[in-house]
Structure 1
Amino acid sequence: MRSVGVEEELLLVDARTGEPQALSTAVLAAVSRESGGEPEVFEAELHRQMLEFGTRPQTGMGDLAEEIVRWRAEAARHAEDLGAAVVALATSPLPVSPSIGSGERYQWLEEQFGLTTQEQLTCGCHVHVSVDSDEEGVAVLDRIRPWLSVLLAMSANSPFWQGKDSRYSSYRSRVWGRWPSSGPVEIFGSADRYHEQVDDMLGTGALRDKGMIYFDARLSHHYPTVEVRVADVCLDPSTTVLLATLVRGLVETAARQWRAGEPPARHGVGLLRLAAWRAGRSGLEGELIHPVTMRPAPAEVVVRALFDHVRDALEDSGDVISAQEGLAALLKGGNGARIQRDLLSRSGGLRGVVTECVSRTRG
């Protein structure tokens, strides 16, 4: 069975006001003192109002769920010692002046990309799924392309930006799309062609390193995995687990298609960009662009098409029932964007939204 790992980025906020706080250095120092030299789970991110953690590779989704809940709770504990809190929101609902980290890499990004770097206070969720080789990994990338926009719609958790409703479900996806290397990609056809494309992009001098290959899905340059990077960080940890379950199903389904000689869908990058825009705009409300037909269809129909597409892989991994239940709960209760807007209508203020989401972050 393929292993799965998850990286989540969290916002650090003032426990009383809900405003983002540049405390990642202090939190990481506290973690380091307590860990006694053990491998670090938490890492700094581009902005000091963010904290990232990564799980170990897991084959059981129950074990993955336990890790996500555990590390969210640990992050919250360390933040609480500083009068702060962590919250799984992909953008800050309240106005914020982002503070870029002091590392050499982050300073280079600010110098080269200016306002784009300054405004990248966004939190995503990255799912790693093991593959046997780069050749298998690229075959997977070629075949999952049309389905990535559905994952974005399901995870959408960033309706607010600088104190205003953006009118998007995932405004993070719009901000992230400002990087020149981000978004959907072409069909590569082989691992050699993939690596050639990456080398050519680095050869332009516009990108610092392979870490800036910001494709919606890519080969990890650290692990033998396909890394799906399209999603917002999810408000509820159960949604993160559902996302990871479906991503593993997509990877396994694509690998089986490749071994069976089935070619990837030939949708052009232009169509995939439109599908991603619609997913970021609509989330699970209204219509999405169907990955097979590339025509509008109700969001629920599209989400269920994703489930049907990976159902055989889910059956084989023992995840089909939990995925069914998770999808039903998500479609009924809504993604993070809908929950945030519902909270605003009840609380009357964005601070109330953040306060409630702090509680929901632990699940």
Structure 2
Amino acid sequence: MTWPSEEQTFGVEEEFLLVDADGRPAAAAPAVLRGSPDELQPEMVTCQVESVTPVCHQAEELLDCLRTQRGQLVGGARAKGLRLLASGTSPVEDTARLTPGARYERIADHFRGLMDSVNVCGCHIHVGIPDRATGVGVLNHLRPWLPVLLALSANSPFADGSDTGYASWRYLSMSRWPSGGPPPHVESEEHYDTLVREMAQSGAVLDPANLYWDIRLSPRHPTVEVRVCDVAATAEEATLLAVLVQGLAASARCRLDSGETVEPVPQDVLRADLWRAARDGLDGQCVDPLTRTLRPARETLLGLFDEVRPQLRDGAKEFADQTLAEVLAGGGGAARQRAAFARGGDLAGVVAFLAHQTEA
């Protein structure tokens, strides 16, 4: 069974770093964004910018949007003598400054020292749903696949001037937040709302938009939002992530329609799976959600592709085949960053390599 392509929609939000000639984050988002379209936006700190695509139906359409938006941000950065980086963390030492605004100031006052970890860049993928009840079912079906998506997207091995030993240091940084990490298995939309409400009572979240789960019901759009991924090094890789998430969501809806249920992965076990994916990335081991065994991440990723392949059409399958093969041959984002460091022997080479990838 396949889900009708006309009912499959998706969109992507990407976060980027602005850096100066020395590779240090530059507090220049207001200047870079001046005169930009509404789809290009500031983020919580002034050295970050964000792009938001419109609702898309096909991989080619999404890829065109991502390329255009990256090009606009690159042009704005160059006009100010800066460069745009698609990296989950800043490779060099960073002192982030909060973007002015009552909401951001409220978050900073409430969460205090955790604000040291907000200068990280993710890729948030939205997939359309007809209603929140369906969204809860999709969320439950996607939960076990989150580690595989993290392993594929891991693109933040360096932070504050050193190699962290992790493929995704961004993920570890965001996991420090009280609502960071994976959500629990949710029984219904009422259960979901109760969880969020009780977290708000404790102060762990200020409002639904402040919920940082790796996957959630979007508080603003009729979508399930997957937030587990690092920002992708290239627009092609970002599109690949979105295609795979869209395929997983379509597969989930088919399973829901046929009455299938998903065996809940215990919360602590899933957190452990995600830690392993953040450490190893694409070139290590990752738990296979179908067999619950530790396997090479590349094999587990191919298992994910087998899961979604029947749902991919309108060119998505061919695009995913080609792009996935290129990633497997060239290595994930974290491996490519480390290879750039090995070639040049310093982080300046990593910054230059990241800027080149982002600008391509």
TM-score (norm 2): 0.96
Aligned equivalent of 1:116: 114
Letter in 1 for 2:162: K
Give, in whole Å, the separation in 2 of the partners of 1:206 and 1:318: 42
Do residues 19 (structure 1) and 16 (structure 2) align? Answer: no
Give, in whole Å, the separation in 1 of the partners of 2:159 and 2:79: 28
Contact 2:87 2:231 in 1 (8 A): yes
Aligned equivalent of 1:199: 197
Give, in whole Å, the separation in 1 of the partners of 2:203 and 2:66: 37
Local SS of the residue matching 1:284 = helix
Mapping of 1:41-80 within 5 angstroms?
A: 41-80=39-78
Aligned equivalent of 1:291: 289
Contact 2:117 2:174 in 1 (8 A): no
Q: For 2:354, which of 353, 357, 363 is the aligned residue?
A: 357
Aligned equivalent of 1:141: 139
Aligned equivalent of 1:337: 334
Local SS of the residue matching 1:126 = strand
Q: For 1:348, which of 336, 340, 345 is the aligned residue?
A: 345
Aligned equivalent of 1:4: 10
Letter in 1 for 2:321: Q
Contact 1:10 1:86 in 2 (8 A): yes
User: Cα distance, 1:317 vs. partner?
Assistant: 5.0
Letter in 2 for 1:326: T
Q: For 1:310, which of 289, 308, 319 is the aligned residue?
A: 308
Contact 2:12 2:125 in 1 (8 A): yes
Give, in whole Å, the separation in 2 of the partners of 1:335 and 1:79: 26
Do residues 224 (structure 1) and 254 (structure 2) align? Answer: no
From the superposition, tell whether residues 265 and 326 of structure 1 become closer, same or farther in structure 2 (CA, over 3 Å). farther
Mapping of 1:77-226 within 5 angstroms?
A: 77-226=75-224
Letter in 2 for 1:155: S
User: Cα distance, 1:149 vs. partner?
Assistant: 0.9
Superposed CA deviations along residues 140-171 of structure 1, whole A, max 9, x for unmatched, are: 00111000111110010000011000000000
Contact 2:179 2:204 in 1 (8 A): no
**Aligned length in residues:** 354
Local SS of the residue matching 2:109 = helix
Superposed CA deviations along residues 313-363 of structure 1, whole A, max 9, x for unmatched, are: 12x454222212221111111111011000011111101211121111033
Contact 2:18 2:47 in 1 (8 A): yes
TM-score (norm 1): 0.95
Give, in whole Å, the separation in 1 of the partners of 2:211 and 2:95: 26
Contact 1:151 1:243 in 2 (8 A): yes
Give, in whole Å, the separation in 2 of the partners of 1:117 and 1:20: 16
Give, in whole Å, the separation in 2 of the partners of 1:191 and 1:113: 27
Superposed CA deviations along residues 31-60 of structure 1, whole A, max 9, x for unmatched, are: 2xxx5xxxx011111111100010001101
How high is the sequence identity, in percent, across the aligned residues? 38
Letter in 2 for 1:327: L
Contact 2:170 2:230 in 1 (8 A): yes
Give, in whole Å, the separation in 2 of the partners of 1:331 and 1:109: 39
Give, in whole Å, the separation in 2 of the partners of 1:200 and 1:44: 30
The more displaced of 191-200 and 91-100 is 191-200
Give, in whole Å, the separation in 2 of the partners of 1:200 and 1:350: 43
User: Cα distance, 1:204 vs. partner?
Assistant: 2.4
Give, in whole Å, the separation in 1 of the partners of 2:108 and 2:203: 15
Aligned equivalent of 1:300: 298
Contact 1:23 1:49 in 2 (8 A): yes
User: Cα distance, 1:81 vs. partner?
Assistant: 1.2
Q: CA RMSD in A?
A: 1.2
Contact 2:84 2:359 in 1 (8 A): no
Give, in whole Å, the separation in 2 of the partners of 1:20 and 1:86: 10
Letter in 2 for 1:334: G
5+ unaligned residues in a row in structure 1: which ranges?
none
Contact 2:59 2:319 in 1 (8 A): no
5+ unaligned residues in a row in structure 2: which ranges?
none
Q: For 2:269, which of 254, 261, 271 is the aligned residue?
A: 271
User: Cα distance, 1:294 vs. partner?
Assistant: 2.2
